[in-house]
Structure formats: C-alpha cells, structure tokens
Amino acid sequence: MARASWRGRIEAARDARVQASRSRVRRTVSHRDGARCELDGRTLLNFCGNDYLGLGQHFGVVTALQDAAAREGAGGLASHLVCGHHALHTQLEQALADWLEAPRALLFGSGFLANLAVVQALLDDDGLCVQDRLNHASLIDAARLTGCRLRRYPHADAEGALRQLRAEPQAMAMLVTDSVFSMDGDVAPLRELALVARVQQALFYVDEAHGVGVTGPDGRGSVSEAGLTSAQVPLRLVTLGKALGGYGAAVVGDADLIAHLEETARPYLYTTALPPAQAAAALASVALARREAWRREKLVQLVARFRTRAAIHGLDLLPSDTPIQPVMCGESARAVAMAQALEQAGYWVAPIRAPTVPEGRARLRVTLSALHGPSDVDSLVDALAQARDRTTPSGFNDSATVSA
C-alpha cells in the first residue's frame, strides 16, 4: 500500500479553504506613515493594526532604537543566560515592573513564546490548565504542547471556570484568561476569576496583550483597572508589540515565579535575547505611555464616536469599550467581500473568519489608534455601511487580495 502523498494532502487542504472562503494571503506593505500604509501602490488608511497609542513611529521611540543600535549593534547575540542579557534588558524589566506595580519582570522574544514559557515551566503531564474558550491561540497551544489537561470554560463564565477546577481538586492547576479578548474586544470578569482561583488554590495567569497601555489607571491594564494586585494575579503577560508599538514581550509578577521561569522556561533558555536596541525603544515607549494620558483619552473618545455613528447606520457590533471593535458579518464570504469593498474605498480592515472565530461568526475587526482622527472614524463608518449594503455572500469566491 502506497504512503499518503504530502502534496495531495496540502492541495486538498488548500481547495477546502478556497471553498469555505478561508484562503489567507500575505500582503506586503511598502511604506508606513502613521495610520496610513502603502499597499500595492495605493495608500490605505489602516484600521487593522494594534498600534493603539500611536507609538510605533514616534520620534522619541525611533531615536532611542537608532542610538542604541549605533552603540550596541543590531542583534541580541545569544540567549540571556549565556551572554545575551544586556543592561538595557535589565532597565526595561525594572521599568515594566515599576509601571505595573509588580515585584519583577522577565523579557521574551514574543508573547507567543512567553505564554508557552509560563505554562510549560509551571505545569507538567499531571497538571490542569483551565482556560476561557476564546483565549488567544498561543495560550491554547501552550497547554497542548505542555501535555497538561486542558479544560475550556464558556466565554467570560467565572462559574464555568469554577466547575472545571472543582472537577479535579487534587491537580496542580492554573486558571488562564486574556484580559481584553483580541477578536471580540470585551474584557474578562477578572475580579470574579481571581476569587475562583483563590478559592480553588489555582495560579491565576492573565494575558494583558491588549490591555496594558490602553486600560486601567496610567495604562497599567485591566488587572489594575479591576483593583487586583500581584498577590491576586501572580503572573501577567505584557506585550511590547501592541500599545507600546515595538516588538517582544514580558511576564511580570511574583518574584519567585519569575525566578523559576528564568531558570527553567525553555522558550527563555534556548532562544536569542531581544536585541538591546529593541529594549531601548520599549523603554522610551513605556515612558511615553505613562506620561501621555491624552493618548488613552483620545482612544476613549474615538471608540465612543465609532459606536455612536455605527448605531446610527445599524451596523452589528459586539459589546466592546476597547479599541477592538468587531463588525459582525456572519458568513466568511460576506466578510471578505466587505473587506475588499473597503479596500477599494481606501480603508484596510481585516476580515476575521473561521477557524479564528466560530463558523457563522465572521467579522471585520476594526482597531482604533490614537493616530486616527474623528473624521477618519466618521468616513470609515460611512464606508462600512456602504460595503454592507453593496455586498452579498451568494456566489462570492474568495480572492487573493485579502490576508486575514
């Protein structure tokens, strides 16, 4: 009997994606200028990035990166525990810990690596990881790759989390949630979940990728907004690549847990350190995020404006007070068609489809930034309404011009 063909398998998978309007094609940006991107020779107003505070091209951030690169070079050279840990890394870890009122912080190359590191270093085959059903893929994959038992509770359901933990009272357990959910834009019930974790003696880990810099007092995130401390939330993920406009991530929290990660987490031990120049850029971003509260205030105003105008047009929104504003489309083909209509009108908005979201729950994921102006928001909502009215899902075939 002949062995199955890899080529046949991937061709069949590709054909299935095309039939289901799930094809994804990488797009190439030739130039960025604030909220605008040059794409295929056209300039589009970008409403699908995560530069919430508009710091990605800030003069002070770019200057910090360039100065550090001129002095220290472009790369990280080695892992942190060999010779890759630089004084700039230490300064950034201290700055993050101070900002977020946590004992310690530990840098990672990305949020995906950081989430894998936390779960892998703290749980084994006998452990239990209880997660919100809508958690980011990196958290789900972290539990699966670790080999622990993964149990998922209904979205934002603290009682569901309690039931899952009660079912295995003897297991070493972690309770894990996003703070701001990346595809819905809503916020987890963190106070209720913290109580569940305390009662069930589970370690509570919160992924603040879309929270820190945007929500909470001084931008400290949703954990701080909920009035919780590092004693109640021993570990939090902070990304450097969203509100802070750079690259990389950190885990902040309990000093003993951070020390354990530093010595045992494979995604920390066996990868090259973040380039010192990136750490310098992040240091500048942290200072700006703490000092310039007007950026968060502007976001609040833009979110309110978007939702008010969308309601006038009858657009189907999810309940979200964050810069992530999903516009529901239903079928994947309709989401793709609307995204293409928006692009023709000069707006870049990503269509989000299964398997990223459930079948029949496709949407346009609009993200707002302090770089946008009120007129940008108004014109986008008008274009969204026109795209909805002009597109139908019937007979539409996915196109290679849409990436997400």
Cis peptide before 276 (omega within 30 of 0): no
The radius of gyration of the chain from alpha carbons, rounded to an integer in Å, stands at 22
- What is residue 218's DSSP assignment? G
Strand order in the sheet with 350-352: 324-330, 362-367, 350-352
Q: Count CB atoms within 10 A of the CB of residue 293.
A: 12
Task: Name the residue type at position 171.
Answer: A
For tokens 């609307």, name the residue: 338
Specify the 3-state DSSP secondary structure of 136. Answer: coil
- What is residue 134's DSSP assignment? T
Residues annotated within the binding site are: 24, 111-112, 136, 182, 210, 239, 356
For residues 302 and 323, give the distance between their C-alpha atoms in angstroms, rounded to a whole number: 8
Specify the 3-state DSSP secondary structure of 99. Answer: helix
Residues annotated within the binding site for substrate are: 24, 136, 356
Residues annotated within the binding site for pyridoxal 5'-phosphate are: 111-112, 182, 210, 239
DSSP 293-359: THHHHHHHHHHHHHHHHHHHHT--B-S--SSEEEEEEESHHHHHHHHHHHHHTTEE-EEE-TTTS-T
Q: Under a CB-based contact definition with an 8 Å cutoff, are residues 368 and 303 in contact?
A: yes
